[in-house]
Chains A and B, each alone.
Chain A
């Protein structure tokens, strides 16, 4: 996963915006598609290259890596061995690489294996960039070259590279007086492959990955520099040796101080924000070091933090800090939990968590409120869901004693005694069960349990409603059974029950219920079904 987001740099962003403004001054010209030129291969043709110091200062804690990268890339027109940049997500790999190219002002071709999701798209994207081809309505969104096989790609690539390098050489010779900064570019061209880890999934890495890693040797062109960016270490790629190992550059996770610098950098009120970071950074740092995760969490929390303040430009004193902290404190832990798990609903679920709190408080007062399942299901679907849950939870050997009224309590008692003796074994089994998750079951077992619990429940329902509810028309005894399989398929579709692959021994499909116990209890409660009676507790 490429989370090569960099910390935003205040200085850079201002420059960036000023640049866009200046472009907008140039009028609609920039919004109209210009025919692509060689300059498209540079980072930004209208911006001045930034100095190395700027690059270093805009990425706190990355000085070593930047210098290392510069060393590998070498001076102008210096051939380089392939470069392999790796490090965790969101450690600045892509950003730094792009910024260095901006600084060096050398031409490059960038392609992300995430966007280019198949070899063909990747090849064609690279060729399009090299051949200065842009898909548009005019060419009916076709690529410059149709290219599916690696061998074709090598040929096309070689052609394209030769033409472009000669173009570059001519360019640097001719336009030197016109554009001073182009002089530095030289005649090297770099191919950047981002998100290389995705390639491993394409065709089980049998062809594409060795091909890409070996591309330098295949091309045998010193003017080409290859840069691979990945979030997994090189060890995960070298399945078969036989090509020159690229130079690895590792981007370690950010340290706490680096993160502090990163986050304070793009804030307006640095004092206030650093006081905020004093509070939150330490606990969060223990959970995640990824800038993107932290920044989403912090942006929410910071809003909370600033809520009591009327003036955001205020410089906080000790007493105010304390007040703000006490205000924020209750929110930190839930937010941490969320980022740790999934942080799916940061924006809306502030309200939702409140609701949840209300719910949990009302739980104590009366069960009626939590009864409500916020989901409409037909009664037979509910029963089916419960039976699936039971089938997944209970061992199949217990079915007879649970559902058969004749062999009930008696057999269970007998079971209990030996299990007491071997409590250790039992614990181990429990552990194992936890690891395995819910069990699978064949369709027949599900239907059998369904039949049992519906017959029990219908009996009780009729007793209950006979006096009061005349609404029930006799629709036949097995009325709930009518389209069970249809219901089952829609339960599968809603991801409540997962259909597994068919068992190789028995040849029948096995199912597995994925709902949690809470949900099952809710469903059971809405049916007034005594679920806990049927659950086997170890």
Chain B
């Protein structure tokens, strides 16, 4: 209950603060109007690096530069890339599940298919004792949160449907205590028969299957989130299914968080009916890597994020909300904000559309030259090229780092860090002045000295150093594939290939001669040789890092493509509703914009809203607020003419106005009490104070302190 409240307040929080630029979409809608001063300042800030200043007016006049459209085109590219990648992550598991489904279908039907009459009769077909076992696939979702896998199960259903199975998806809502077994049967029949019935029983499903179902396809029932289902309903449902499994070849697939879940949720006589197999979906970390690769490392959309934003996103994923859904949402918000605050960013939309070939980009940039400086155009191409190199190097690092379980997201954070690159680059420059000579050892120390000791990049390079021969050759092959577009890197990688082949041949020979004592019998020379190859590969990687991995923030004009404003993103993501409420209560004037209270800064005035007065007054109190005192000070403020209010210190203790006539006082007293009650209730609802306890009936407790 409390959680939903938090949800609500979180969702309402941005609304209340729309003027704080928290709502990107709101801004986007407004973006077609001429730029306001705030945006101009942003533009001025961004362009100071560039030698020429493109005026913001030119960008707005062209309809092609509509930031809304640009956002849509860029985001749709990112989105589709992410979706493709997520689908690919699951294909293996899906195939596995499908083959298991086929096997279990054969096992179910092996004892003979019952005839129509048998299948639709109410009494069970007497058969072997194990025939009541229900084949159950437990699909392990490796995440505590379930959100990411809603889509997965939907896709699993579609996948199985396309492979000639009858599929129905049930969620925990169908299997709730409120709906009972009838509810989930109804949902099943609705999905299979496409009819909605009042009184449902499973015999209907049996007769449907025999009449209209494909006799060669199993009936698959997917329960998406088993742990959230009502225990009694789920166990009744399973018992019922197991009674009919001989008549209808049903197979159950359940999504579970831990393998213990069935044991804790279901009673033993129900578990007895299940014949489970385990499947594992890709872990969130794997999927995250795939998404990061698709969305950020491959320069597919033109949009990228700065180092700080990357670190923020990573921390947000690791510490707060371990769901891909929220990561993608954060990315989307970042993207939207970028397009709304960055006037030149709309160029990206064009870049994204005409991304496919370099020549076309050149053509585009020449076309754009009319509007934008040719300098900018060339810079854009440069940006694009270096980003491509950067992405390739990051991927090479990732491929190497995979062997020591480096996460791409960590790698990305380090790779985006401009400081590291700057220090490396400056070092190289001083060295190259002396004369360019790369001995592997010195280079090693040089590259590493600026990378963090156990940072993912140096980890990856370190791993290459002690990789055995066959994975090394695989790694080199994957590098070759990755670098196919950039000739200068590709050549270097290819230089290493023949060496590794030679090495492989040798080690193969070694294998034949003495399989058991391979490691010990290696000659010293051999070891040395293999070491040199590893060393060379590592050096190559280090050189790549040094020469090609230019973080986007080190490239001029990167502001066009790169979103760097962490604070904005953070405030959009973590609403911090309680703080927001307090701020709004204290600074209500920003919303009301009335003339009467404009001059007061912290002094409560008569014309202020009651709740604000009350809250301002409450600030003076400690842990507990005496209701009587509170009321008295409230009364003084409301009753007094504004002149009194300035002497704030005295108000709380001495109610001064006692000169009014009695009747007036009585009348106003009751209305004042009503106003007080209302204000206190509002404060209580917003969670700022707590009602009096039984022990201290005349005190309320403050819950929120400070901002």
Residues on A lying within 8 angstroms of B by beta carbon are 1-8, 12-13, 16-17, 20, 23, 30-34, 40, 43, 89-90, 94-95, 98-99, 109-112, 114-118, 120-121, 124-125, 129, 134-137, 140-143, 146, 192, 266, 291-293, 295-296, 299, 341-349, 352, 374-381, 443, 468-473, 475, 479-480, 482-483, 485-496, 509, 514
Do B203 and A115 touch (CB < 8 A)? yes
Do A480 and B319 touch (CB < 8 A)? yes
In the complex, residue of chain B having the shortest beta-carbon distance to the beta carbon of A2: B243
Residue from the list B112, B195, B275, B321 in contact with A346, Cβ < 8 A: B275
Q: Provide the bound-state CA to CA distance between A493 and B124, in Å.
A: 36
Q: Provide the bound-state CA to CA distance between A43 and B121, in Å.
A: 9
Do A136 and B211 touch (CB < 8 A)? yes
Do B269 and A486 touch (CB < 8 A)? no
Do A491 and B144 touch (CB < 8 A)? yes
Q: B282 to chain A: closest CB distance in Å? A: 11
Q: A201 to chain B: closest CB distance in Å? A: 8
Do B207 and A471 touch (CB < 8 A)? no
Residue from the list A135, A292, A469 in contact with B203, Cβ < 8 A: A135
Q: Which of B159-188 contact A (CB under 8 A)?
A: 180-182
Do A31 and B210 touch (CB < 8 A)? yes
Do A135 and B204 touch (CB < 8 A)? yes
Ordered by A's residue number, 18 sampled pairs between the chains whose C-beta atoms are within 8 Å are: A5-B127, A43-B123, A117-B201, A125-B203, A137-B208, A141-B189, A293-B272, A295-B128, A343-B268, A346-B276, A374-B142, A374-B258, A468-B452, A475-B312, A482-B320, A483-B6, A493-B227, A495-B261
Do B143 and A495 touch (CB < 8 A)? no
Q: Which residues of A contact B197 (CB under 8 A)?
A: 141-142
Closest 7 CB pairs of A and B: A489-B3, A110-B123, A378-B322, A485-B6, A8-B128, A5-B129, A379-B319
In the complex, residue of chain B having the shortest beta-carbon distance to the beta carbon of A201: B232
Do A509 and B3 touch (CB < 8 A)? no
Known: A293-B272, A470-B417. A375 touches B243 (CB 8 A): no
Residue from the list A111, A115, A135 in contact with B207, Cβ < 8 A: A135
Known: A111-B122, A115-B203. A7 touches B195 (CB 8 A): no
Known: A30-B117, A494-B227. A114 touches B239 (CB 8 A): yes
Q: Which of B233-247 contact A (CB under 8 A)?
A: 236, 239-240, 243-244
Most buried by B among A379, A469, A485, A496: A485
Residue from the list B204, B210, B322 in contact with A376, Cβ < 8 A: B322
Do B115 and A375 touch (CB < 8 A)? no
Q: B107 to chain A: closest CB distance in Å? A: 11
Q: Provide the bound-state CA to CA distance between A111 and B122, in Å.
A: 6
Known: A137-B208, A352-B278, A480-B319. A375 touches B144 (CB 8 A): yes
Q: Provide the bound-state CA to CA distance between A94 and B454, in Å.
A: 67
A-B pair count, CB < 8 Å, reads: 266
Most buried by A among B228, B274, B413: B274
Most buried by B among A109, A296, A299: A296
Q: Does B292 contact A (CB under 8 A)?
A: no
A-B contact sample (6 more), CB < 8 A, given A121-B200, A344-B274: A20-B112, A121-B201, A266-B128, A379-B320, A475-B570, A486-B10
Q: A126 to chain B: closest CB distance in Å? A: 9
Q: Which residues of B contact A17 (CB under 8 A)?
A: 112
Q: Does B565 contact A (CB under 8 A)?
A: no
Do B4 and A489 touch (CB < 8 A)? yes
Residue from the list A125, A192, A347, A469 in contact with B452, Cβ < 8 A: A469
Q: Which residues of B contact A348 (CB under 8 A)?
A: 276-278
Q: A324 to chain B: closest CB distance in Å? A: 22
Q: A4 to chain B: closest CB distance in Å? A: 8
Do B123 and A98 touch (CB < 8 A)? yes
Do A121 and B199 touch (CB < 8 A)? yes
Do A482 and B574 touch (CB < 8 A)? yes
Q: Provide the bound-state CA to CA distance between A376 and B1, in Å.
A: 25
Known: A485-B6, A509-B1. A89 touches B269 (CB 8 A): yes
The 0/1 profile, CB within 8 Å of A marked 1, for residues 208-219 of chain B is 101110000000
Most buried by B among A99, A472, A494: A494
Q: Which residues of A contact B236 (CB under 8 A)?
A: 114, 117
Q: B443 to chain A: closest CB distance in Å? A: 23
Main SS of chain B's interface residues? helix
Most buried by A among B127, B269, B414, B574: B269
Q: Does B638 contact A (CB under 8 A)?
A: no
In the complex, residue of chain A having the shortest beta-carbon distance to the beta carbon of B228: A493
Q: Does B453 contact A (CB under 8 A)?
A: yes
Do B201 and A115 touch (CB < 8 A)? yes
Do B199 and A120 touch (CB < 8 A)? yes
Known: A114-B243, A480-B319. A134 touches B129 (CB 8 A): no
Do B227 and A495 touch (CB < 8 A)? yes
Q: Which residues of B contact A34 (CB under 8 A)?
A: 116-117
Q: B254 to chain A: closest CB distance in Å? A: 12
Do A110 and B122 touch (CB < 8 A)? yes
Do A376 and B283 touch (CB < 8 A)? yes
Q: Provide the bound-state CA to CA distance between A458 and B263, in Å.
A: 35
Q: A7 to chain B: closest CB distance in Å? A: 7
Q: Does B629 contact A (CB under 8 A)?
A: no
Q: Which residues of A contact B348 (CB under 8 A)?
A: none
Do A345 and B201 touch (CB < 8 A)? no
Q: Which residues of B contact A146 (CB under 8 A)?
A: 199
Q: A478 to chain B: closest CB distance in Å? A: 10
In the complex, residue of chain A having the shortest beta-carbon distance to the beta carbon of B454: A468
Known: A40-B117, A114-B243, A475-B570. A381 touches B453 (CB 8 A): no
In the complex, residue of chain A having the shortest beta-carbon distance to the beta carbon of B10: A483
Q: Does B401 contact A (CB under 8 A)?
A: no
Do B284 and A376 touch (CB < 8 A)? yes
Do B410 and A471 touch (CB < 8 A)? yes
Residue from the list B1, B132, B257, B275 in contact with A494, Cβ < 8 A: B257
Q: Which residues of A contact B115 (CB under 8 A)?
A: 20, 23, 30-31
Q: Provide the bound-state CA to CA distance between A118 and B198, in Å.
A: 13
Do A483 and B320 touch (CB < 8 A)? yes
Q: Which residues of B contact A299 (CB under 8 A)?
A: 130
Q: Does B540 contact A (CB under 8 A)?
A: no
Q: Does B430 contact A (CB under 8 A)?
A: no
Q: B176 to chain A: closest CB distance in Å? A: 13
Q: Provide the bound-state CA to CA distance between A471 and B413, in Å.
A: 7
Do B201 and A116 touch (CB < 8 A)? yes
Do B243 and A115 touch (CB < 8 A)? yes
Q: Which residues of A contact B128 (CB under 8 A)?
A: 5, 8, 13, 266, 295
Q: Does B271 contact A (CB under 8 A)?
A: yes
Q: B269 to chain A: closest CB distance in Å? A: 5
Q: A264 to chain B: closest CB distance in Å? A: 14
Q: Does B318 contact A (CB under 8 A)?
A: yes
Q: B155 to chain A: closest CB distance in Å? A: 20
Q: Does B133 contact A (CB under 8 A)?
A: yes
Do A1 and B278 touch (CB < 8 A)? no
Known: A8-B128, A377-B144. A486 touches B7 (CB 8 A): yes
Q: Provide the bound-state CA to CA distance between A241 and B261, in Å.
A: 43
Q: A139 to chain B: closest CB distance in Å? A: 11
Q: Which residues of A contact B269 (CB under 8 A)?
A: 1, 3, 89
Q: Provide the bound-state CA to CA distance between A5 and B275, in Å.
A: 17
Do B212 and A115 touch (CB < 8 A)? no
Most buried by B among A141, A142, A143: A141
Q: Which of B1-42 contact A (CB under 8 A)?
A: 1-7, 10
Do A90 and B240 touch (CB < 8 A)? no
Q: A455 to chain B: closest CB distance in Å? A: 14
Q: A242 to chain B: closest CB distance in Å? A: 30
Do B116 and A378 touch (CB < 8 A)? no
Q: B112 to chain A: closest CB distance in Å? A: 5
Do B127 and A473 touch (CB < 8 A)? no
In the complex, residue of chain A having the shortest beta-carbon distance to the beta carbon of B121: A40
Q: Which residues of A contact B455 (CB under 8 A)?
A: 468
Q: Does B317 contact A (CB under 8 A)?
A: yes
Known: A374-B142, A376-B283. A134 touches B120 (CB 8 A): yes
Do B126 and A341 touch (CB < 8 A)? no
Q: Which residues of B contact A352 (CB under 8 A)?
A: 259, 278
